[in-house]
Structure 1
Amino acid sequence: MREEERNEALWRFGAYIFLMVIVVLVLIPLYWMIVAATIPQSEFFSWPPRLIPGLQWFDNFQALQENVDFLNSIGNSIIIAVAYTALSLVLCSMAGFAFAKYEFRFKEPLFYFILATLVLPIQLLIIPLFLLMVQIGWTNSYLAVILPWAANPLGIFLMRQNMQAIPESLLESARMDGATEFQLYYKIALPTMLPSLAALSIILFLNQWQAFLYPLVILQDPQMYTIPLALAELVGQQRVYFDQIMVATSLAVTPIFVVFLTMQQYFIKGILSGSVKQ
C-alpha cells in the first residue's frame, strides 16, 4: 500500500511540474506583450531584453490612435461579436432541439450535410458570399459579417448532442399540461442547457472576435474595421509599428480573458456533457 501511495505521489508531483512548465511557457509571451506595450520601439531588439515594464504605454496608445481609430475598431468588434454570439446561440439551440427531439423527413441526411460543411475551407465560400452581399447591398455592414455564419454547424452539433439528454417523458408531461412546442424549447430545453450554452457562447465569441479574412473582404471602410483589420493596418511596407501592435494586442485580448473567466466554470462541463450521447 505504501508503494502504491508513493508511486501515486510521484505521478502527481510529475503532473504538477509538467503543468507548471506549460503555464510558464504560456505566460512568457503574454508577459512580454505587456512589457513591450510599455516601452519604445527602439528597445524591442536590445540585448539583454528588457523584462521590466516601462512608462510608454499611453504614448504608444496615442500613436496607435493616430494611425488607426482603434477605439472605434474595438466598438465594431464588440458589436459584431456580441450580436453574432446572441443570434447564433438562438439559431443553434433551436436547430439542435429540432434534430434531437423531432422526427421529420431527411432528418439524418440533413444533419450530416450540416456537419459536412465544417470541412469546407472559408476561402471556398468568400467569393460567392461577397457576390451575394454586393447584389443585396449589404457590403460594408454589420449584417454582412454576422448573418452568413450565424447558423454555426459546430454549435448545432453541440446543441443536438446535449439536448438528447432531455427526457422524452418530461416533454410529454409538459405537452399534456398544455405547453406549446415553443414553450418546450425556451421553458424546458434552454434552462437545462445553460452550461452548454455558456461553453458554446465562448467558442462563438472567440471565433468572431478573431475573424480576419472574411471581414477583410466585406468591410472596406476603415470606420467599419474590426480589431484584426486594424492590426493589419499597422504592418506597412516600410515599417512595422511593433510598439503600437503590442498595445493593440494587449487591449484585444482583454475581452477574451473577461469572457473566459466569467464562464470558465461552465466551459468544461458544457463541452463534455454531450460527449457520451449516442
Structure 2
Amino acid sequence: MMDEPQRETALKFGSYAFLLAVVTLIVVPLYWMIVAATIPQSELFSSSIPFLPGTQFLTNFEALQNRLNFVRTIWNSTLIAVVYTLLSMLLCSMAGFAFAKYEFKYKEPLFYFVLATLVLPIQALVVPLFLLVSTLDLLNTYLAVILPWAANPLGIFLMRQNMQSLPDALLESARMDGATELQIFYKIALPTMIPSLAALAVILFINQWRLFLYPLVVLQEEAMFTIPIALSQLVGAQRVAFEQIMVGTTLAIVPIALLFIFLQRYFIKGILAGSVKQ
C-alpha cells in the first residue's frame, strides 16, 4: 500500500503523462501538416519520410494560387468571419442583456425557444435558408453567409448567463443619474463583459471560419469561395493535390492561432464567468 505522499506523486505523474499524450496527439499531426506543406507530393509517399520541413512551401503555394486564387479565398473567409463575429457579438450581447435584465411577456418561453434551436442540425436548415436568401436575391454574396447565423443561440445563452452577474443596483443607480437604456448597455454592461465578449469572439470566429456545408450551397462562383470550399476543390477523382491541401490548411490555422494567442487570457475567464451567480 502506498502512503499519502506516494499516492500524490503517482497521481501527479499519471496526470502529466496523460497531458503529454494528449499534447502529442495534437502537435504531431499539426507538425506533419507543416512538413507536408514544404515538400513535393512525391516525397509524401516515399519510403523515407522526411521529419524536417523542406524548401518547397512557396512552390506549393504558387501552384495553389494558380489553381484557386487562394489569396482571394483567404480574403473572402477573413472578411466574412470578421464581419460576422462583430455583428453577432453585438446582437448576442444585446439579446443577452435583454433576457438577463428586463422583464417582458413570454420572456422564459422565448429564451427556451432560442436554446431549442441549438439542437437543429445544419442539414435541416440549409434548404429553408437557401430558399430565403434566394428570395431576397442574396445568393453568391457575403451577406448570404453572414446574416442567417448572426443571432447565434449559443452566443445569446453565454451573454445572458454573464449579464446576470451584473448587480441590478448598479443599473438602477445609472438610471437615477439620468442614463438611458442604451447608455447603460454600452457604458456599463459591455465594459464589464470584456472577458465574456473575448470568449464569444473566439467561438463565433472559429464557427464561421470552419463552416462548410451552408457556404457551399449559397456561394456559387469560385471568386466567392471560402477556404473550406476552396480546399475541397483540390480533391479530384483522379488526383488529390495533398501538398496544396497542406499549404492551404497550414495558412488556414494561422488566423485562429493568432486570435486565440491574443485572447487566451480572457477566454477561460469569459467561459466560466457566468457559471457562478452572485
Same fold per superposition (TM over 0.5): yes
SS in 1 for 2:202: helix
- Using the TM superposition, give the Cα deviation of residue 6 of structure 1 relative to its aligned residue in structure 2, in angstroms: 3.5
Q: 1:35-74 alignment to 2 at 5 Å?
A: 35-74=35-74
- Tell me the residue number matched to 1:103: 103
Bigger mean CA deviation after superposition, 224-233 or 15-24: 15-24
* In 1: Cα distance, 2:277 partner to 2:165 partner: 7
Distance 1:145 1:38 in 2: 33
Aligned to 1:250: 250
Q: Quick one: distance in 1 between partners of 2:47 and 2:25?
A: 21
Q: Could you tell me which amino acid in structure 1 is paired with residue 76 of structure 2? A: N
The 5-angstrom pairing of residues 68-217 of structure 1 reads 68-217=68-217
What's the offset of the Cα at 1:174?
0.5
Amino acid at match of 1:153: P
- Aligned residue type for 1:111: F
Instruction: Measure how far apart 1:102 and its partner are.
Output: 0.3
Alpha-carbon shift at residue 273 of structure 1 (Å): 1.1
Structure 2 letter corresponding to 1:234: L
Residue correspondence of structure 1 range 259-270 to structure 2 within 5 A: 259-270=259-270
- Deviations, residues 151-175 of structure 1 (Å, cap 9, x unaligned): 0000000000010000000001111
Aligned length: 277
Residue 276 of structure 1, CA deviation:
3.0
Which digits, 9 at most, give the CA deviation of each residue in 1:220-278, with x for residues without a partner? 01101110011011111111000100011100011110011111111111111112349
| Matched residue type, 2:20 | M
Over the residues paired in the alignment, what is the CA RMSD in angstroms? Answer: 1.3
SS at match of 1:55: coil
Letter in 1 for 2:46: S
What letter is aligned with 2:152? N
Render the CA deviation track for 1:59-111: whole Å, top value 9, x for unaligned.
Answer: 11111011101110000000000000000000000000000000000000000
CA distance in 2, matches of 1:244, 1:164: 48
Aligned residue type for 2:29 = P
Task: Give the whole-Å Cα distance in 2 for the aligned partners of 1:227 and 1:18.
Answer: 34
Deviates more, 1:47-56 or 1:61-70: 47-56
Deviations 1:96-138 (A, max 9, x none): 0000000000000000000000011111111111111111111
| AA of the residue aligned to 1:136 | L
TM-score scaled by length of structure 1: 0.97
- Give 1:9 deviation, angstroms: 2.8
Q: Distance in 2 between matches of 1:24 and 1:47?
A: 23
| Mapped partners of 2:6, 2:186: distance in 1 | 52
Q: Which runs of 5+ in 2 are unaligned?
A: none
Which of structure 1's runs of 4+ aligned residues deviate more than 6 A?
none
How far the C-alpha of 1:3 sits from its partner, in A, is: 4.2
C-alpha displacement of 1:53: 1.2
1:5: Cα distance to partner? 3.4
Letter in 2 for 1:104: F
Letter in 2 for 1:168: D
* Runs (5+) with no aligned partner, structure 1: none
Secondary structure of residue in 2 paired with 1:113: helix
C-alpha deviation, 1:54, in angstroms: 1.0
In the aligned structure 2, how far is the partner of 1:175 from the partner of 1:220?
Answer: 50
Percentage of matched positions with identical amino acids: 66
The amino acid across from 1:11 in the alignment is L
